[in-house]
A and B are shown apart, each in its own frame.
Chain A
Amino acid sequence: MSASKGLHPEAAIGPIAVPAATPAWRRGLYLLVGIAVALAPLVLLESFHLFQLTMAVIMALAVLGLNIVCGYNGQISLGHGAFFAVGAYATAILMSHFDWSFWATLPVSAVVCGVIGYGIGFPALRLAGHYLALTTFSLAVAVPQILKHKSIEDWTGGVQGLFLVKPDPPAGLPLSPDQWMYVVTLIVAGACFLLAWNLIRSRIGRALIATRDNPTAAEAMGMDIASLKTRAFAVSAMITGIAGSLSAVAIEFVAPDSFSIFVSITLFVGMVVGGVASILGSLFGGLFVLFVPNIAEAISKAAPGVIYGVILILFLFLLPDGFAGLLRRIGQRLRIRP
């Protein structure tokens, strides 16, 4: 134990569990199990519940976007619903006015949201903490009104919104449109989660976290804070925008009032409940914000908001680090007691 020079009190540091690297065959196994679990609802759930699950995965993706800028990079955004709306409208406009296929609209939606996010990133450099929260909040307040505005009514459909249809399942696949929509959502969200996972574990992800933890030290390590923060905003907006695109086709309808400030708050709740700065936590966050309101309504038709609030507060008390923190604790238990 005393490899050091004897001057450092060994007792000052408790036993430290060193995580062993997961062997390749195990990782492969986890992947297979993951895919099986993800596809099981196709046979287990009927149409409506499958639709709800699809929406939960979409919300999880939107929460993931928020988590990149907010959880990992520490820039508070109460306006991510705006990017969700822009993504949804980009897809809806291209599909209903120009007959684009859904897949073709995804890159456009990502680029549009990325550019807007990058733009918002610059004023965000000068506004920290509460001020940034309020600025992004005002963005979320403004977006539904902008969408209703007369000057763009021809494109957005004004208050009426736009109708569109789900992508058809490819010929030969014995899937209903709802089932195919679930698969599409899994593919798109899965790809985004994988890319985000790579990003966070790279030097860039480390730099995002370093910038959040200690900007002065981050700069001394050669990290260009302005560039990191604006790009983090762009990536974050892009992911949330893609989630918006998916929601537009899953619901087959977009309207300004579906994108009220409540969407932004919901995403924020999802991030905190799932786990701030956690990729996997975002998934739980998505499930929470979609299913818990339903549970609340099943408990009390009269005051579901109250029940929702109580459940939310309970979660925050019992899981202060969100689901991700719970998983970490379980993981540590398992490692210490092999």
Chain B
Amino acid sequence: MALLEVEDIVIRFGGVTAVAGVSFAVEDRQICGLIGPNGAGKTTTFNCISGIYRPNSGRIRFAGQDITGEPRHRMTGYGIGRTFQNLALFRSMTVRENVLAGAHASGRSGFIASALALPQVRREAAEAQARASELLALLDLNRVADAPVAALPFGWQKRVEMARALISRPKLLLLDEPAGGLNHGEVDDLAALLGEIRRNFNLAILLVEHHMSLVMRVSDKVVALDFGKKIADGTPEQVRSDPEVIRAYLGGGDDHARAA
């Protein structure tokens, strides 16, 4: 049984069908790249998995459980963590506080226990602090741990998001364009980091990405979408040489001529 199973999902916005029956699976510890030209339905599919959209039809199963249309705040609890395309950090907080906020789902204490600072609350807080320190070290953020997050350069903020997603110990990490806005050196770092994360955290990664060379380099499996449909699915080599994919990216097919 695959970790994540996407089964024939359809998403319509008014009259427009953004995703028209896409199915694929992500196995345990697999890095899966979701690619496609602009408007192919990648981000819509991604948002469906993270609970932002509910599919009009189709199912999404995670570790055998049906999670279709579950509320967004439950996803972390199931073991799905995510980062955002255009950075969604808590801007008034420090780097460390941002990472700690990611540990929210692993805490239990509510308003009353927290106000009374019960022993259980202190225990939870100490555990979260310890894990936050580990992640800050792993992502090379130690030196800026207590700096306001808004003061960091873009590439560093992306690493903070990564640490914030990892602290909840996800089984699947959803990355929305992790290479967007990074320079060459930073993209190389990211590729190394993704490998390191998978080794250390024993998790699967689904990434939506435009940066083709990054996707081909890090992915075990690539799913290509075009016009809301899956056009290819396989190893990076298979997908790269797939005639449909080449046509979608380089043009020359009749579809795009008609659509334009």
Contacts and interface: CB of A to CB of B under 8 A. Distances in A.
Interface in A135-167: none
A197 to B, nearest CB: 9
Given A13-B147, A198-B117, A221 B186 contact: no
Interface string A71-113: 0000000000000000000000000000000000000000000
Interface in A1-57: 3-5, 7-9, 12-13, 16, 18-19
Contact of A220 (B50, B93, B142): B50
A116 B153 CA distance: 45
Interface stretch (B120-128, B221-229, B251-259): B120-128
Interface string A256-273: 000000000000000000
Given A206-B104, A207-B101, A220-B82, A231 B73 contact: no
Given A5-B140, A7-B185, A224-B73, A206 B100 contact: yes
A221 B102 contact: yes
A220 B114 contact: no
Contacts of A336: none
B91 A214 contact: yes
Nearest to A220: B82
Interface residues of A, number: 39
A214 B125 CA distance: 22
A213 interface: yes
A204 B73 contact: no
B115 interface: yes
A210 B90 contact: yes
A125 to B, nearest CB: 14
Contacts of A218: 90, 101
B116 interface: yes
A221 B168 contact: yes
A13 B116 contact: no
Interface of B: 50, 71-77, 81-82, 84, 88-93, 97, 100-105, 107, 109-111, 114-117, 121, 124-125, 128, 140, 142-147, 151-153, 155-156, 164, 168, 185-186, 188-189
15 contacts: A3-B142, A9-B153, A16-B144, A19-B146, A195-B115, A199-B114, A203-B109, A209-B93, A214-B88, A220-B84, A221-B168, A222-B76, A222-B77, A222-B168, A277-B92
Interface of A: 3-5, 7-9, 12-13, 16, 18-19, 195-196, 198-199, 202-207, 209-210, 212-214, 216-225, 231, 235, 277
Closest 9 CB pairs of A and B: A222-B105, A222-B76, A202-B114, A217-B88, A213-B90, A195-B115, A7-B185, A219-B72, A198-B117
